[in-house]
Amino acid sequence: MLLVLYLLILLIGILLKKKKHFNILVILLMILIVFISIDCPDYSNYEIPYNYIKNGNNFYDVGFIWFLICKIGGMMGLTFRVFKTLIVFISLLLINDTVKFFCNKEKEQVSKFWLIYLIFPMLLDCIQFRFFLASSIVFFSFRFWSEKNIFNIIRCSLLILLACLIHSSCLFILACYILSLIQNGKKNNITKYIILTLLFSIFIALGREQIISFLSLFINKTRIDRYLLSGNPSGMMSILVNFIVILTNYQILSKNIDKEIVSYNQSKNIKYIYAINNINKLCFLILPLLAFDSNFIRIFRLVWILNIVNYIILQKHSSNIFLYKFKLNYTNFMILFALFLNVLFFVGISFDSFLVLLT
């Protein structure tokens, strides 16, 4: 039934020209899926620790902040089903509010974001709701990212640190923010990042043990064992596909900021575009980590959400997108790109989880 409902809402979103309140439909659908689905195998990774903490036990291997969140849920007497639904609901509110902020509360633009999000990565966020909460906090922090006054720096830093304490994958965004403060708007050629990626790959191949020892100073031992010592590494084809995805995002943003948009250089939107494109470049440095564990790919999932907003901002100034020598409609491109990413994850990583989630 959930699968039929999901496909029906997706079809409505694609075919309906006026979809001012489509975001509400997607949010309600996601809450319904998370609340109803109880047999998804991935949920046991969250449910067992939650019930253990709820029963009055201490379990800090999940991270202190997540332990506190679970502890509060247990003190409130929430069942795991209600707990995960509440976490997803809070995350959705943060994302919806941030999208409204960058889309200037234009309902059509906000709904367009949720259409692309519905295609990818909504289903994965239904499953990995801890990472979803951390991602939503990171996304919310971007309203303070570009304006580098002391108050915004403090607010942005605290939010990203909170996200990192919820899920360590967000350490990448923290590194990006620190680098943005150091660079202070200076531009770097993408070639530099590709060369650094190659050097980083060689360094990982030659110094794996040293890297693990260094990271163990900042990351919980359980997560080190999970992602670096016993993880499921990605194959070369997966790494190559992700390289193409990152490069495509970067090229689109670099080539489609025309003079009309640049004339609004002081706006929060153009600063957001430049900030995300810098993150796109830094994503190249994550590619070698896929050789440790394919779970590092979730970082690209967060970056994709950030890029959806970029495409919607650019679409307000031009209906067409230029990718190398090709000219495409923005909406069609976003839908096709999101479908491609969904197939990539659906077939390669999460087929069983998706199937159980929607049945």
What's the confidence (pLDDT) of residue 305?
A: 93
Higher pLDDT, 176 or 220: 176
Q: Which two tokens stand for residue 150?
A: 């002391």
Residue 68 pLDDT grade (very low, low, confident, very high; cuts 50, 70, 90):
very high
- How far apart are the C-alpha atoms of 27 and 33, rounded to whole Å? 10
The mean pLDDT value for 126-134 works out to: 94
Could you write out the DSSP letters of every residue in 249-298? Answer: HHHHHHHS--HHHHTTTTSHHHHHHHHHHHHHHHGGGGGGGGGT-GGGGH
Average pLDDT over residues 305-333: 75
Please give the Cα distance from 150 to 207 (Å, whole number).
38
| Banded model confidence at residue 138, pLDDT cuts 50, 70, 90 | very high
Question: Counting Cβ atoms within 10 Å, is residue 348 exposed (0-12), middle (13-18) or buried (19+)?
Answer: middle
pLDDT-based confidence at residue 260 (cuts at 50, 70, 90): very low
* pLDDT at 284 exceeding the cut of 70: yes
pLDDT exceeds 70 at position 355: no
Extended beta strands in the chain, E state = 320-323, 326-329
Mean pLDDT is lowest, of 34-48, 71-85, 162-176, 214-228, for 214-228
Q: Residue 266: pLDDT band by 50, 70, 90 thresholds?
A: very low
Average pLDDT value for residue range 60-81: 94
Share of the chain above pLDDT 70, in %: 75
- Backbone region of residue 53 per phi and psi (left: phi > 0; alpha: psi in -120 to 50; beta: other values): alpha
Which is more confident, 295 or 98?
A: 98
Say how far apart CA 112 and CA 309 lie, in whole Å: 9
Cβ atoms 155, 144 nearer than 8 A: yes
Q: Is the pLDDT of residue 24 over 90?
A: yes
Query: Is residue 263 very low, low, confident or very high in pLDDT (cuts 50, 70, 90)?
Result: very low
pLDDT of res. 81: 95
- pTM for the whole structure: 0.88
Ranking 81-85, 202-206, 309-313 by mean pLDDT, the lowest is: 202-206
Q: Which of 65, 69, 32, 33 is nearest to 50 (CA)?
A: 69
Residues 139 and 272: their CA atoms lie apart, in Å, by: 11
**Residue among 256, 307, 251 nearest 279 (CA):** 307
Across all residues in the chain, what is the average pLDDT?
A: 82
Kindly indicate the confidence band of residue 345, based on its pLDDT and cuts at 50, 70 and 90.
low
- Please answer whether residues 276 and 310 qualify as being in contact, where contact means their C-beta atoms are separated by less than 8 angstroms: yes
- Looking at residue 32, its pLDDT comes to 95
Residue whose tokens read 């020892």: 213
The whole-number average pLDDT for the span 255-278 is 69
**Nearest Cα to Cα of residue 287 among 276, 303, 272, 275:** 303
d(C-alpha 86, C-alpha 76), whole Å:
12
Q: What is the pLDDT of residues 140-165, one digit of tens each?
A: 999 998 777 899 999 999 999 999 99
3-state class of 328 per DSSP? strand
Using CA atoms, how far apart are residues 59 and 41, in angstroms rounded to an integer?
21
In the prediction, which pLDDT does 227 show? 60
Which pLDDT belongs to residue 241? 80
More confident residue, 157 or 268: 157
pLDDT at 134: 96
In the numeric block, which tokens belong to residue 110? 């906000």
